[in-house]
Amino acid sequence: MLRSLYSGISGMKNFQTKLDIVANNVANVNTHGYKKSRITFKDMVSQTIASSGGPTNNSGSTNSKQVGLGSSLSSIDKVMSVGASQNTDQPYDFYINGDGFFRIEKQGEILYTRTGNFGRDSEGSLVTPDGNYLLGMDGQKITIPDGISSVSVGSDGTISVVENNVSRNVGQVSLASFSNASGLDKVGDNLYRQTLSSGAPSNAIVPGEQGTGVIQTGRLEMSNVDLTDEFTEMIIAQRGFQSNAKTITTSDEILQELVNLKR
């Protein structure tokens, strides 16, 4: 069979995967804290028809003759650039202006997120919309008492309340950082889990220290998806898919001509 058939099939599969990545980015263009993904390809092993040769007394060196056998998936990377902030004026909306992740406890497991839309549960603890606890510097949940007259959050994550005309601190938001944040695994609900690739986190960091960003309240991080880039990549994926499909139909026409030679 013609090698071009299999090369075209590998290209179509890869561009279909690329379109899947682009579609997911576009679907999450308005997801707070979402980090877009990108895909890269690599060529597959080439068939060597003739090996290279060194120079002789009568001739120079010759290059090898190789025919490529298609492409394969190289990587699907997370682009962890910081998204723009959106003003919400909600006291428990936190924006990390820089690097770092909020530490979240979900069913006893510590996970990480860039999405800072928190609220109070029935006990006054700060939780995500799914009811997972936001952890403070001591690794415990942060509780906002009832009956307070005001609440404020400093750039270092310190949460202060005014109760009976007396101001006091009730907790401090902690952050985590990773040497390779792109190596984190997405687990849904805007949460990430550490992996061998991401490395162990530096936990319980005061916001603004050890290279992390400061906390801004009344703001949320927007998705870092750029629709202009995504539509461009969508066109590339579509044309690439069509071009590879054309190589298959052309190869099929050649095979048809070979079959017709017998007639």
| Span 137-168, pLDDT tens digits | 989 999 999 988 889 999 999 999 998 888 99
- Angle among Cα 167, 173, 176 to the nearest 5 degrees reads 160
Whether 21 is in a domain gets the answer yes
**Residue 243 and residue 210 share a domain:** no
**Residue 30 and residue 133 share a domain:** no
Does pLDDT of 262 surpass 80?
Answer: no
**Residue 209 and residue 93 share a domain:** yes
**Residue 120 and residue 208 share a domain:** yes
Whether 58 is in a domain gets the answer no
pTM, entire model: 0.87
pLDDT, residue 218, reads 95
Mean pLDDT confidence for 197-218? 94
**Residue 140 and residue 15 share a domain:** no
pLDDT, residue 1, reads 58
Whether 251 is in a domain gets the answer yes
Range of the domain at 117: 85-221
**Residue 25 and residue 150 share a domain:** no
% pLDDT > 70, the chain? 99
**Residue 230 and residue 207 share a domain:** no
Whether 96 is in a domain gets the answer yes
Q: How does pLDDT run across 29-84, given as a tens digit for each residue? A: 999 999 999 999 999 887 888 888 888 888 888 888 888 888 999 999 999 999 99
Domain count across the chain: 2
Whether 57 is in a domain gets the answer no
**Residue 186 and residue 211 share a domain:** yes
